[in-house]
Structure 1
Amino acid sequence: MSTASPHLQGSQSVATGPKSHPRLEIRNIHRYFDGRAVVDDVSLQIQAGQVTCLLGPSGCGKSTTLRMIAGVEMQDSGEIYVDGKLICDTMFRVPPERREIGLMFQDFALFPHLSVADNVAFGLKGSKDEKRLRVEELLQKVSLTRFIDDYPHQLSGGEQQRVALARALAPRPRIMLMDEPFSGLDNRLRDGIRDETLTLLKEEDTAVLLVTHEPEEAMRMADEIALMRGGKIVQQGAPYNVYTRPSDKASVAFFSDINVLKSQVNGALADTPFGQFLAPGIADRTDVDIVFRPQHVRIDFDRAGKGPLPTATDGVPARAVVKRARYLGHESLVEFQMDYDGSVLKVTVPRVFLPEVGRVMWLTVPRNRCFVFPA
């Protein structure tokens, strides 16, 4: 099992609510296509009012997991529960329309021939007046009351997304499944729409499972992240913990660019141009990757051929030469070529910082920002 540096600081947990049945629970779900495990022993619990993001690259099994929960696809093994009651295993299956689960997808799937009011009311039960009251209540919450008699083609993408949300919430589902629902929106609209959606889902006390391949979206929306890779959940927890205590190198790299130093363990220590790193629990002569993010590298100016003094927290400074510098709008990216072995390290600075190419500088890497994994 991968081992992270013991110098990592801080922890954060998510309140799990009262000791009762989770709103949604899936146990040991498997799904095979052509003999290949697309979803491999996945288990999850989501409480009412909680947002969990199933995060991972395309093809890792996220959407297949969602479809099995919705009931539009059958698992090959495993069980699905809602409020402690079995809704599906390999022998018993509650039909999708009776699961009290709402669905939202990227394409919104609005009926073009129905008005906004009729789209939201679609699938509602009760009298005409009861339906109208529920439609008006939801359209007011998503600030679309003035469009109640319009048709989808008359709305912007953001407005259509809010109509789709209102329609999904209209029957008061206990669970909302969302598959990349914001990816079709303009970047300028996306953050506002996501925040409005999250607020409304919390107000309705809905358990939410959101599928996304965007780490920023998961960090912004989730109470808990389940990081998925190759059909498996490889790490699960509060966004802070998943980001700051990754389970392996691939987990670090999924959230951001990374730098990697290669070394070998000798006496629980790994030598690098930045000094020695602790590698507890890793056997001698094991090759290791020392992983750190570009924003955590510190830069110092050259002082007559010397850099800053070594410290216990930052280790030994290493000499490097500026290879390229670019301003990206919200930060600067500087690439350095290391004197030690000619390798290139990326460093980001949260301001305009554009040193000239060829300039000598000194880099240090805080130990509490590094992770040590067997290579």
Structure 2
Amino acid sequence: MLTATPRLEMTQLSRDYDGVRVVSDLSLTLSPGEVTCLLGPSGCGKSTTLRMAAGVEGPSAGTVNIDGERVADASFSLPPEQRSVGLMFQDFALFPHLDVARNVAFGLKGSRSEKAARVTELLDRVGLSNYGTKFPHQLSGGEQQRVALARALAPRPAIMLMDEPFSGLDNRLRDGIRDRTLDILREEGTAVLLVTHEPDEAMRMADKIALMRDGRIVQIGAPYTIYAKPVDQKAAAFFSDVNVVHGVVQDRQTETPFGLFLTPGLVDGADVEIVFRPQHCRLDFDRKDTPVHPTVEHGVPARGTVIRARFMGNQSLVELEMDHDGSLLKAVVPGVFMPPVGTPLVLSLRRDHAHVFPCATQSRVSNPWDTPKD
């Protein structure tokens, strides 16, 4: 069975600055019409990776291929204008001395009538049909963003590279403009590589998320997979608040105040973290005369005392000081739930949404072929 050639393929890509490696051994492929988000904190190498894909910078090692053709390696780098890539940045970079029509036409090849037809088509698609004679300073931020999109799409690039393009927009406009932008890009069959540090934006836009940390991709997959099956505690915490309960492995399981958790891949004595999100918790009032019993779904409840409760609009966030070790754990409750400070509650968690990881300071993973010693 034949497989389609990736639109963009980066293989074992690295980039050094003054002897410091900022992108390390990165491999990533994009297919036509696919939106891939490079997601991670500031300084993790996202924008550097995008610049290498664009041809603004060359790699120190590794290769970049576009539609199966080599465009960069450690010895050469094809310039951006020869790569069939569109570029969109957070400042839009429109030419202030050119009107909208001439901004969109900039870089187009062909006859005057062909250019005019393409400009008219794109301004209509981005909802700016009557804006051709306006100048950038006469436009709102959302309108400037749409002009920038039209200009980037005008040459029909195979790949669109976007570096935080929506970060300067008002929150009320952002969702609608993002959705319309993606619709147009998918209609064009353009492969999209989007850089963002906002998990919500990546979850909303991406077909595939590549989670970066310290210059490396630590996990890649569909948004649901990245969220629901994080590779480690830091990956889980990047998408939302998490609760962490510590334990020690004994007989391939770990005892916690919330019951036993199976830890078959770790040796006895290994330190582990049980990680779960506040929205996967359940709170009950502490009724000493009718205790809350363990269930298969929620395990064993543990007692704590309310230290803070806040209403967040459509849900409430309750923070507890736990009796067993004084740690602070959070629970999210739908609607309004504002128990007074000092109220005793019992907290339980969805065991099927809990994750067990070795502590970051050690990873004593056992060999399944080890034989027990006498």
Indicate the TM-score class for this superposition, using the shorter chain for normalisation. over 0.9
Gaps of 5+ in 1: 1-16
Name the SS of the counterpart of 1:145 in structure 2.
coil
Aligned match for 1:47, one of 11, 28, 31: 31
Counterpart residue number, 2:345: 361
Q: Please state whether the residue corresponding to 2:329 is helix, strand or coil.
A: strand
Shift of 1:18: 7.0
3-state SS of 2:113 partner:
helix
Contact kept? 1:292, 1:369, Cα under 8 Å: yes
Quick check: 1:223 aligned with 2:215?
A: no
- Residue 93 of structure 2: aligned partner: 109
Any gaps of 5 or more consecutive residues in structure 2? 360-374
Q: Look up the match of 1:255.
A: 239
User: Could you tell me which residue of structure 2 aligns to residue 310 of structure 1?
Assistant: 294
CA distance in 2, matches of 1:210, 1:305: 56
Q: Deviations over 1:246-300 (max 9, x none)?
A: 0011000100001100110001111111111111211110011111111111111
1:307–1:317 CA contact under 8 A, matched in 2: no
> Residues 87-134 of structure 1, C-alpha deviation per residue, up to 9 Å, x if partnerless?
111234322111000000000000011000000000001111111110
Alpha-carbon separation, structure 1, partners of 2:324 and 2:290: 15
Looking at structure 2, the residues matched to 184 and 331 of structure 1 have their Cα atoms a distance apart, in angstroms, of: 28
Q: Secondary structure at the match of 1:146?
A: coil
Shift of residue 330 of structure 1? 2.8
1:78 CA displacement: 0.5
The share of aligned pairs that are identical, in percent, is 62
Instruction: Find the aligned partners of 1:370 and 1:241 in 2 and give their Cα distance.
Output: 14
Please, which moves more after superposition, 349-358 or 224-233?
349-358
Instruction: Show CA shifts across 1:221-242 (max 9, x none).
Output: 0000000000000000000101
2:369 is aligned to: none
Distance 1:40 1:307 in 2: 53
Would you say 1:283 and 2:260 are equivalent positions? no
Farther off after superposition, 46-55 or 306-315:
306-315
| Counterpart in the other structure of 2:60 | 76
Shift, 1:304, TM fit: 3.3
Residue pair 1:108, 1:164 contacting (<8 A) in 2 also? yes
In structure 2, the residue corresponding to 1:126 is in which secondary structure? coil
2:152 is the alignment partner of 1:168: yes
The Cα shift of 1:307 comes to 3.1
Could you say which residue in structure 1 is the equivalent of 2:304?
A: 320
**1:24/1:47 contact within 8 Å kept:** yes
One of 49, 53, 59 as aligned partner of 2:43: 59
CA distance in 2, matches of 1:293, 1:128: 58
Corresponding residue of 1:133: 117
Alignment match of 1:97 (pick from 69, 78, 81) = 81
- 1:297 partnered with 2:281: yes
Deviation string, structure 1 residues 28-79 (Cα, Å, up to 9, x no partner): 0010112221000000000000000000000000000011111111111111
Residues 112, 152 of structure 1: 8 Å contact kept = yes
Looking at structure 2, the residues matched to 86 and 243 of structure 1 have their Cα atoms a distance apart, in angstroms, of: 34
Q: TM-score, normalised by structure 1?
A: 0.94
**In the alignment, which residue of structure 2 is the partner of 1:14?**
none
Q: Of the two structures, which has the highest relative contact order with CA contacts closer than 8 Å and spacing of 6 or more?
A: 1
SS at match of 2:109: coil
Point out the more displaced range, 26-35 or 101-110.
Answer: 26-35
Indicate which of 105, 117, 124 corresponds to 1:121: 105
Query: Could you tell me whether the CA contact under 8 Å between 2:58 and 2:76 is conserved in 1?
Result: no
Per-residue CA distance 1:197-232 (angstroms, 9 max, x = gap): 000000000000000000000000000000000000
Corresponding residue SS for 2:130: helix
